[in-house]
């Protein structure tokens, strides 16, 4: 089968064998936004030479403005609900094959404003398949970082923080970016830790951000260290507001899912705050989609 993680700005494709092992992988910039109106053509092109019958997809491909909107499922939900909620679509050029889209999840109860995910549920499905019962906390860092509470195999709470996007627009469009190198720079652990510490002070993120500017005016850091300082402030605020420290008992570890580079920063921050981490790669999505299909087979709803 083919597993497709089709996000807003990127497309990841995996070819799996029967047991769910990834045998080939591809990646493209044709995210859902760039594929509007021509999803079928893009998929045909990107899977050229892969003749597997079954194609399972997750991500913004199933969102509003995607290929086909698949409504969010309500939390709490686990792999049984996700597998059951998959929708099959027909598309020209894919006659004789099976295209499925996995629904996103929404959490309308644990906060006064609803929260959602679309795509991350496939990565979580792989984790749900192997985690023991009880409570687990999962963080999926990114443009929009997801903090997810899992209990006895069910996803119960979703909380999203706009950390990655705020970091990017501050660097590109705010006064803070003016004193930073425009290219990506090496992670500076000293500056990152200073930002992390700063985030513990009570005077708020909006004030801490201005301090990135004054810290440069007063030459507390080199220009090359400022991105790491900013990153430490933002990730520190995200982690401290995640509820991690107010839970009782406090979770001893957080599961981190994502690309290696981003995970290093989060792992560094959590470790500095005395929390253990367990890392999982992005391509967990492929394993998750395979696990969801296996559920449908078990339940006799595979066709």
Binding site for a copy of itself (CB under 8 A): 64, 108, 111-116, 144-145, 159-163, 165-166, 169-170, 172-175, 198, 201-211, 214-215, 217-218, 220, 234, 237-238, 240-243, 246
The CA–CA distances, whole Å, from 65 to 9, 34, 35, 240 equal 13, 11, 10, 34
- Cβ 66 to a copy of itself, closest distance in Å? 14
Return the number of the residue (72 or 100) whose C-beta is nearest a copy of itself.
72
Q: What CA–CA distance (Å, rounded) separates 17 from 27?
A: 18
- Cβ 208 to a copy of itself, closest distance in Å? 8
Q: What CA–CA distance (Å, rounded) separates 154 from 168?
A: 33
Return the number of the residue (190 or 210) whose C-beta is nearest a copy of itself.
210
Which residues, including other chains, have CB under 8 Å from residue 251's CB and lie 6 or more apart?
A: 135, 136, 137, 244, 275
Return the number of the residue (15 or 118) whose C-beta is nearest a copy of itself.
118
Give the number of other Cβ atoms within 10 Å of residue 71's Cβ: 12
- Cβ 148 to a copy of itself, closest distance in Å? 13
- Cβ 274 to a copy of itself, closest distance in Å? 19
- Cβ 286 to a copy of itself, closest distance in Å? 26
- Cβ 244 to a copy of itself, closest distance in Å? 11
Q: What CA–CA distance (Å, rounded) separates 282 from 25?
A: 12
Give the number of other Cβ atoms within 10 Å of residue 244's Cβ: 17
Return the number of the residue (22 or 116) whose C-beta is nearest a copy of itself.
116
- Cβ 60 to a copy of itself, closest distance in Å? 12
Return the number of the residue (178 or 259) whose C-beta is nearest a copy of itself.
178
Are 101 and 49 contacting, i.e. CB atoms less than 8 angstroms apart? no
Return the number of the residue (16 or 117) whose C-beta is nearest a copy of itself.
117
Q: What CA–CA distance (Å, rounded) separates 150 from 107?
A: 12
Q: What CA–CA distance (Å, rounded) separates 295 from 32?
A: 27
Peptide bond into 76 cis (omega under 30): yes
Return the number of the residue (65 or 298) whose C-beta is nearest a copy of itself.
65
Strand ordering across the sheet containing 145-151: 154-161, 145-151, 135-140, 253-258, 276-281
């Amino acid at each position: 089968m083919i597993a497709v993680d089709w996000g807003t700005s990127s497309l990841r494709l995996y070819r799996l064998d029967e047991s769910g092992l990834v045998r080939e992988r591809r990646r493209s910039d044709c995210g859902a936004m760039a594929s509007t109106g021509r999803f079928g053509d893009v998929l045909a092109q990107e899977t050229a030479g892969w003749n597997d019958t079954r194609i399972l997809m997750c991500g913004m491909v199933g969102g509003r403005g995607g290929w086909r909107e698949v409504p969010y499922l309500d939390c709490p939900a686990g792999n049984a609900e996700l597998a059951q909620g998959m929708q099959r679509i027909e598309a020209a050029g894919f006659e004789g094959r099976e295209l499925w889209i996995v629904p996103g999840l929404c959490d309308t109860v644990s906060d006064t404003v609803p929260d959602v995910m679309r795509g991350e549920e496939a990565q979580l499905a792989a984790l749900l398949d192997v985690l023991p019962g009880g409570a687990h906390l999962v963080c999926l860092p990114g443009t929009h970082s997801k903090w997810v509470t899992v209990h006895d195999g069910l996803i119960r709470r979703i909380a999203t923080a706009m950390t990655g996007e705020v970091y990017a627009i501050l660097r590109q469009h705010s006064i803070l970016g003016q004193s930073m190198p425009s290219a990506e720079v090496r992670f500076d652990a000293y500056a990152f830790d200073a930002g992390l510490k700063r985030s513990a002070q009570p005077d708020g993120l909006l004030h801490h951000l201005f301090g990135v500017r004054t810290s440069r005016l007063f030459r507390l850091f080199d220009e090359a260290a400022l991105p790491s300082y900013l990153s430490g402030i933002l990730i520190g605020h995200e982690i401290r507001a995640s509820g991690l420290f107010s839970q009782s008992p406090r979770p001893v570890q957080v599961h981190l899912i994502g690309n290696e580079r981003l995970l290093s920063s989060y792992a560094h921050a959590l470790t500095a705050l005395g929390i253990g981490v367990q890392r999982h790669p992005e391509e967990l999505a492929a394993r998750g989609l395979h696990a969801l299909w296996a559920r449908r087979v078990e339940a006799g709803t595979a066709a």
